[in-house]
Amino acid sequence: MVNSSISTRPTAADQRVRHGIFADRTPRRRHIADWSAKWIVKAGGASIIAAIFGILIFILIEVLPLARSARVEEALRVPYRGEPARGLLSDEYLTHAVTLGLDGRLQVIRLGEEAPQVVEERDLLRGAPSASVPEGESSAPAGEPKTAGPGPEPVLTRVQAHPSFRLLSASRSDGRVLLAPVRWKISFSEAEGRIVSCELPDLITLQVDPRGRPLSAYALVKEEGESDALPVTIVAQLEDGRLALVERKVKVNLFTDEVEETVDSSYVEIDWKLKDVVLDPSGKNLYAVTLDDRLIRWPRQRGGLGEPQVIESSGSSITAMTLLTGGRSLALGHGDGRVSIWFQVRDASDRFQLRRIREFTGAASPVSSLTTCPRNRSFFALHEDSSLELFFSTSERLLWQGKSPVKGTTAVCYGTKGDAVLFAGQDSLVVKRVENPHPEISLKALFGEVWYEDYEEPEYAWQSTGLNDSFESKMSLVPLLFGTLKGAFYSLLLAIPLGVLAALYTSQLMSPRLQKYVKPTVEIMAALPTVILGFLAGLWLAPRVERFLPGLLMMSVVLPLFVVAAGWLWGRMPLRIRNSIPDGSMAFYFCAVLALGIWFSVAFSGVLESWVFGGNIRNWLFEVTGLRYDQRNALVVGIVMGFAVIPIVFTISEESFSSVPRSLVAGSLALGATRWQTVASIVLPSGSPGMFAATMVGFGRAVGETMIVLMATGNTPVLNWNPFDGFRTLSANIAVEIPEAPHGATLYRTLFLSALMLFLVTFLVNTAAEVVRLRLRKRFGQL
């Protein structure tokens, strides 16, 4: 029976709570704190995502210019009158042009916005020759008939321009070669700024054919150095078929500036009529094209030419020939419009043979001339139908296509800086600006095998810089990507077994008293600066690994044997003795056994090296297996970087194993399963998602490591899995190269491309790890 005297009316306290008198204090503050924390977390996450996308966008901005093609745009057009120029030169600032036609008129033309101005003009046919070779005499050696006195007025038969030598040359119908050097002078004034002027030193005449007959073809090369005295070597075919080799040697007295000149001539009988010849810059190789389109290479020897290499015609006529920058690659233009690249390769008999390396396909019209860029392996191919293409040899890229800007092109000259090209035609002279910043880059150059000069076969190679502009850049990222994976592989080979098994033991088998010390200690290892680890690896560990390498190899057998033997002895101990040992002490027992095994391996390292490896394991490795040993190698990096990755693998795996419900473990043990059966059947499958995530995160950590691989490897970009050899990773390459890379240059942007690859690899690996982890979690979550 309910007591009706009890009042059901709300009290004053109930009224205050109902109307929010107390709710406006503590609950409101909690609400504000929760709301603030929620938005701070959201803002922090959004900031991280925005930062990542910002970094990605910045990298893409730096990388995208690598894919752009060249741009060739007209900058200046000036009228040109008289005989069309056959030879053409320009200064590096494009303020003047020097032209030479078959009429012998040498003109210096000032270029500018206003009308062109002929600054200086000289007639080579009527001008006085060099005093060293007076008219009516010859430089014929003893036994050769001398040229008679002045006869019919000679004419020019061929004109050549040599931009790298700052020289124009021409052959005359009387068997002489005229050398017209060009000298540029640069000065500065406050009023006009930079002032470029042109000087034409005295003309030099060399008698190549002592009988005064026209030359079929000729080529010349100037000796290295800045001497204006022009020490040159000329090779020419005479009318009777012989090859003439003329060397003009010059000695300059440093005190009096007097020039002592000597001219040596020799003659070689050959069986072919030539239509074009080229000498490499060193003067050691002579290339020639015969009238029946055979390609011949002669090695120059003291006093003459060596045995020729004759390459028969491929069916298409050879219409143009030149050497690319550096003088090692020979470019040939063909009658069907193709351009082929050749250079010397060492064959099986250790002899150098000329081989065709690659081809470019352009317009169908015959190639009339090839013009080489002085800064890199770019070249213009001009066809008879005025089609024009810009190629780059190493990357095999067609950079630009168009038409010649002048009617009846007679001469083409690449600017000294590689940023312009000049065209001379029948009635005009045109300057075109060339914007070609990254011709070395193509998909094949980055990720394919490329046949580089002086290499015996196509290879993946990275060598970004050389001594001079003639160096052929090698920008393959394959050795760097391979080195990154190699370093990660050897480090994970140590980190994954040790990290996962240590986490499994700590989580399931270690005593709680010992566990509270071990877990924090391993996690603190992750805070060790990698620069210290790299320093210790390179200067302390690497020499000791080299010294005790046999012992290190012995550890792979001795340590498992010692552990198994120690476990067998532990199991043979009386039960009362084992029970009297404090819980967790078994770990110290096995640590002592491992220390004993390490000491045993190191102590007997020298004995093993003497008995098994003949006293020198490095020689044994090379003679028996072909493996070379480098002190800073993948083995050293694997050991040190493995210990740097172990804390990450251990921490994630241990958390995963510890999160397995205790009810599952207890149920398995209650059903009669042993501790190891429970671990293998319950804990490992349930913790496999975390174990896989630990492996992938450890892989990402190893891929991005910089300082350890920078200091503990030889940084050699090689392609092999040899654990005793070095390697170079993408991250270490960025650290090494970026301080010396000019901003915006090809190397600079290629390094950002490698950074983009690292970014994408890490992103894809983490994404794949998360997807697989979720699937494994869903699969084993029902246990």
pLDDT band, residue 132 (cuts 50/70/90): very low
475's CB contacts (< 8 A; 6+ apart) are 440, 441, 445, 446, 462, 464, 746, 747, 750
- Tell me the DSSP string of 490-553: HHHHHHHHHHHHHHHHHHHTS-HHHHHHHHHHHHHGGGS-HHHHHHHIIIIIHHHHHHTHHHHH
pLDDT of residue 675: 85
731-743: average pLDDT: 92
What is the share, in percent, of the chain residues with pLDDT greater than 70? Answer: 91
Distance CA 491, CA 727 (A): 13
Write down the pTM of the prediction.
0.85
pLDDT tens, position by position, 376-398:
899 999 999 999 999 999 999 99
Distance CA 592, CA 569 (A): 14
Asked whether the predicted pLDDT for residue 7 surpasses 70, the reply is no
Which sign, positive or negative, has the C-alpha torsion 770, 771, 776, 779?
Answer: positive
Q: What long-range pairs does 56-61 form, CB within 8 A, spacing at least 24?
A: 56/756, 56/759, 59/752, 59/755, 59/756, 59/759, 60/756
The answer to whether the CB of 261 falls within 8 A of the CB of 248 is yes
Q: On the CB side of 432, how many CA atoms lie within 13 Å of its CA?
A: 25
3 state SS of 8: coil
pLDDT of residue 125: 83
Q: On the CB side of 50, how many CA atoms lie within 13 Å of its CA?
A: 6
Torsion angle in degrees (nearest 10) through CA of 359, 360, 362, 367: -60
Asked whether the predicted pLDDT for residue 140 surpasses 60, the reply is no
pLDDT tens, position by position, 697-733:
899 889 989 999 999 988 889 999 999 999 999 999 9
Task: Pick 782 or 513 by higher pLDDT.
Answer: 513
pLDDT tens, position by position, 403-457:
999 988 999 999 999 999 999 998 889 999 999 999 999 999 999 999 999 899 9
Task: Pick 573 or 371 by higher pLDDT.
Answer: 371
3 state SS of 252: strand
Q: Report the b/e string of 675-709 with b at 16+ CB within 10 A.
A: eeebbeebbbebbbbbbbbbbbbbbbbbbbbbbbb
Q: How many residues does the chain have?
A: 783
Asked whether the predicted pLDDT for residue 509 surpasses 60, the reply is yes
- Tell me the DSSP string of 350-419: S-EEEEEEEEEE--SSPEEEEEE-SSSSEEEEEETTSEEEEEETTTTEEEEEEE-SSSS--EEEE-TTSS
3 state SS of 559: helix
Question: What percentage of the chain's residues is helix, strand, coil (to nearest 5)?
Answer: 40, 25, 35
The answer to whether the CB of 94 falls within 8 A of the CB of 63 is no
Asked whether the predicted pLDDT for residue 143 surpasses 50, the reply is no
Task: Pick 632 or 471 by higher pLDDT.
Answer: 632
Q: Given the structure tokens 């389109």, which residue do they identify?
A: 293
169-191: average pLDDT: 91
Of 108-117, 296-305, 423-432, 727-736, which range is least confident? 108-117
pLDDT band, residue 354 (cuts 50/70/90): very high
Single-letter code of the amino acid located at 433: R
pLDDT tens, position by position, 279-295:
998 888 999 999 999 99
Asked whether the predicted pLDDT for residue 524 surpasses 80, the reply is yes
Choose among 106, 89, 236: nearest CA to 177.
236
Asked whether the predicted pLDDT for residue 1 surpasses 50, the reply is no
pLDDT of residue 100: 93
pLDDT band, residue 753 (cuts 50/70/90): very high
637-666: average pLDDT: 90
pLDDT of residue 769: 79
pLDDT of residue 689: 84
Greatest Cα-to-Cα distance within the chain, rounded to the nearest angstrom = 155
The answer to whether the CB of 433 falls within 8 A of the CB of 421 is no
Task: Pick 665 or 750 by higher pLDDT.
Answer: 750
H/E element, 248: strand 243-252
When the pLDDT of each residue in the chain is averaged and rounded to a whole number, the result is 86
pLDDT tens, position by position, 56-109:
999 999 999 998 889 999 988 888 878 889 999 999 999 999 999 999 999 999
Helices (H), 632-674: 634-658, 662-670
CA distances (Å), 134 to each of 127, 137, 200, in order?
A: 12, 6, 19
CA 377 to chain centre: 15
3 state SS of 437: coil
Single-letter code of the amino acid located at 753: L
Asked whether the predicted pLDDT for residue 612 surpasses 60, the reply is yes
Name the packing angle between helices 512-524 and 634-658 (round to 10°): 130
135-150: average pLDDT: 44
pLDDT band, residue 139 (cuts 50/70/90): very low
Asked whether the predicted pLDDT for residue 371 surpasses 90, the reply is yes
Distance CA 323, CA 280 (A): 7
